[in-house]
Amino acid sequence: MRLPNLYLKWHGFRELTNCVDTDKDVGIHLFRHEDGAEPFSKLLRGDLSCASDIADALTRYMSEWISTIASRMGGPAVTRALMPADLELPTLAFMARLAEALPNLPEERLDRAHKVLVRDLTVTVPAGQPYRLAVERYVIERSFDGLLPSGGQGPVVFVAGRDKGQIAALGVPREPIAAYTLFTRDPAPAGQRLWEMAWGETVLWLPSPSQPSLQQGRLLLMPRAEAVMPTPGQFHVTTALVWKDEALKALEPRPAGTPAGSLDERETALFLTRLRRMADDRRRRWDGAVSILTASYIVETSAQ
pLDDT in tens, 84-141: 999 999 999 999 999 999 988 999 999 999 999 999 999 988 888 899 998 877 655 4
What is the rounded CA–CA span in Å between residue 57 and residue 229? Answer: 43
pLDDT in tens, 4-26: 999 999 999 999 999 999 999 99
Of 99, 104, 302, 300, nearest to 191 by C-alpha is 300
What is the rounded CA–CA span in Å between residue 304 and residue 30? Answer: 49
What is the rounded CA–CA span in Å between residue 146 and residue 91? Answer: 25
Q: How is residue 1 annotated by DSSP?
A: -
* pTM: predicted TM-score of the whole model, two decimal places: 0.89
Predicted pLDDT of residue 139: 56
Q: Which residues in 134-167 are b (16+ Cβ under 10 Å) and which e?
A: eeeeeebeebeebbbbbbeeeebebeeebebbbb
What is the rounded CA–CA span in Å between residue 282 and residue 279? Answer: 9
Show me where the domains of the chain are located. 6-120, 132-299
Percent of the chain having pLDDT more than 70? 88
What is the rounded CA–CA span in Å between residue 52 and residue 200? Answer: 29
Averaged pLDDT, 46-73: 94
Assess whether pLDDT exceeds 70 at residue 153: no
Q: Where are the alpha helices (DSSP H) in 18-146?
A: 23-31, 37-44, 52-72, 91-101, 107-120
Position 72 confidence tier, pLDDT thresholds 50, 70, 90: confident
